[in-house]
Structure 1
């Protein structure tokens, strides 16, 4: 059995974790989140998860890669790695390197998008997280850049990309099942 590793990316607040839970109803997946994996290797406390975006990005990505390889279940057919390709860091929007996804040996990528109003409402209402509250226009620009970066990464890594919304669970399940 060849394990399929899929990066589920999108901006903070788009609903990646909820989407992964819905995918788990269709597929036997292991769901890993970038923030959790980075926290494993860093000194950031669990309650400070959202401060990760303010830390050294390169160091965080090394923690992510190490945590991924330590945490992945080799008995699971599908691994969904929930993370970002563009983060809102201390210097504004910062693109992550395709090298990270190459080190994870991804077989495909899903970019999850949503209406900027819905993302803004989710960020405001989620009192468990400390995300930056941006304008709808800033969220639109962040999401547009994230999609563009995902496309560029997938071309450079020669892996397929599907763009999805939170309503696209069945098409994404089919996409994952079709990966070789």
Structure 2
């Protein structure tokens, strides 16, 4: 596809808000992986973060992207590098998914686990385990680096604590030039 910048990070870190700010600043289009793969069609509880069949879900994502992407446009896709399976294990999204997406660049959004936990609990009205969230963020970071190396694309890290948005926008703009 080579028209997509992929932004990933754990649930509740603020990917959607960040992506909207970036797309506004750079005049590019925003896509949410959940919307593209129609998460609400395959999961009766949209707040449930566990994925029954990761392979099927990723196939839905690729098919949705192929139907959505218009030639000549650049998109920022908000998604995940890793997912929770039904046993609450952190599972990397298959590398094949990222190969098919063929991103221009990757963004990893990180933040304070205590802030993320509070955000999720307020939004979803349930308790989240701090250790599980820490593990998810560590795995997302490790796998994002692995993907960037495998695909030979830049990985930009946005740490919500440092709030380096202007620097991130500048780096993305330069990668598009």
* TM-score, normalising length: structure 2: 0.87
State the match for 2:139 in structure 1: 145
Given candidates 153, 157, 172, the residue that maps to 1:159 is 153
State the match for 2:42 in structure 1: 44
1:95 matches 2:95? no
Q: Secondary structure at the match of 2:4?
A: strand
Cα deviation 1:95-133 (Å, max 9, x = unaligned): 111211111120110000000001001101114xx7x74
Change (3 A) 1:162 1:83: same
1:173 matches 2:175? no
Unpaired stretches in structure 2, ≥5 consecutive residues = none
* TM-score, normalising length: structure 1: 0.86
Cα deviation, residue 3, structure 1: 6.6
Cα deviation, residue 169, structure 1: 1.9
In 2, Cα distance between equivalents of 1:49 and 1:65: 20
State the match for 1:111 in structure 2: 108
Structure 1 stretches of 4+ moved >6 Å: none
Q: Secondary structure at the match of 1:126?
A: helix
Change (3 A) 1:124 1:103: same
Change (3 A) 1:48 1:135: closer
Cα deviation, residue 75, structure 1: 4.9
Change (3 A) 1:120 1:52: closer
In 2, Cα distance between equivalents of 1:175 and 1:17: 19
Given candidates 117, 129, 132, the residue that maps to 1:120 is 117
Cα deviation, residue 43, structure 1: 4.0
Alignment of 1:27-38 (within 5 A): 27-38=26-37
Would you say the 8 A contact 1:4–1:179 is kept in 2? no
Would you say the 8 A contact 1:17–1:82 is kept in 2? yes
Change (3 A) 1:72 1:93: same
Q: Secondary structure at the match of 1:163?
A: strand
Aligned residues: 173
State the match for 2:15 in structure 1: 16
